[in-house]
Amino acid sequence: MSAALRGGVEQFAPAKVNLTLRVGRARADGYHPLDSLVVFADWGDTLAVEPADELSLIVEGDGAAALKDEPHNLVLKAAWALRAAADRRELGARLTLTKRLPVAAGLGGGSSDAAAALRALTALWDLDFSLRQLAEIGSAVGADVPVCVHARAARMSGIGEIVAPLAAWPSLPALIVHPGAALSTGPVFKAFDEGDPAPLSAGAVMAAGDLDAALRRLAADANDLEAPARRLCPAVGEALDLLADLPGARLARMSGSGASCFAIFETLDAARQSAALIQRARPDWPAAPVTLAGAV
């Protein structure tokens, strides 16, 4: 996932996909308990870090315009948090983020970028932090950062800080579609709370050995934020309906708090053919055929 550059380090920041997302009633501190099966796609952003006297960030790529008004985004917050944890205020780096993932899309793009910064800067600065320690540092940056630090199929619980890698889970061919609408997390959770949700109950074991077993396991769960997201953003419902009707689609669901949705297929070729159908029907919607990595 990382590559050495001339005097620097490059890290891939994969899209995070919530195959399931159960959400409980908000705690007294306002945070919601979660139970989610999380996987990562072979589609994402790229972060390059190079030695420099100060910390700075340049954002390039198709998604750069959406971040132009966020000079202190999660990537820099992660860099500052890592430097503080190392107690090395003199450390600097030039960070260049090539943004491909849509913003506010339910794909954990910002969190994955922040996690990539933690991994890349640890290597650049020759720091002695384990992935578990980086995940702890990342928890102060954002709730999804710890699972993105590990970047492997995992069960995420608590408010996101408890990450348990899956022992058995297959790679899944899929198609991710973003219906062209940004959907902020806060309003989706607010709409969810209006339904007076119950406390979160313990979920079943998350494990599967092949595609059919994985689909049976996924069918037993859901994304609890899908219904409120549909109410707030009709494009989510349109995307889910289109995905469910595609030839060979085995399951269609929203990821995270939306608006991105995905469908699982038997083969990557089937996902690619469906991407072409989506792009003909809605050329303004990004449609990415991907492999969702399994347990490693």
Q: Sketch out the chain's domains with CATH numbers.
A: 2-165 (3.30.230.10), 172-292 (3.30.70.890)
For the question of residue 196 being annotated catalytic, the response is: no
190 catalytically annotated: no
**Catalytic residue among 16, 77, 99, 224, which?**
16
Catalytic residue among 35, 45, 113, 144: 144
- Angle among Cα 74, 80, 86 to the nearest 5 degrees reads 135
Comparing CA positions, the residue from 23, 34, 35 lying closest to residue 194 is: 23
Q: What is the pLDDT of residue 248?
A: 97
**The predicted structure's pLDDT at residue 68:** 67
Distance, CA of 146 to CA of 29 (rounded, Å): 20
pLDDT given for residue 205 in this prediction: 83
* pTM to 2 decimal places: 0.94
pLDDT at position 193, please? 96
Please list the rounded mean pLDDT of every run of 10 residues in the chain (296 residues): 68 98 95 96 98 95 74 88 97 97 92 98 98 96 96 95 95 97 92 93 87 97 96 97 98 97 98 97 96 93
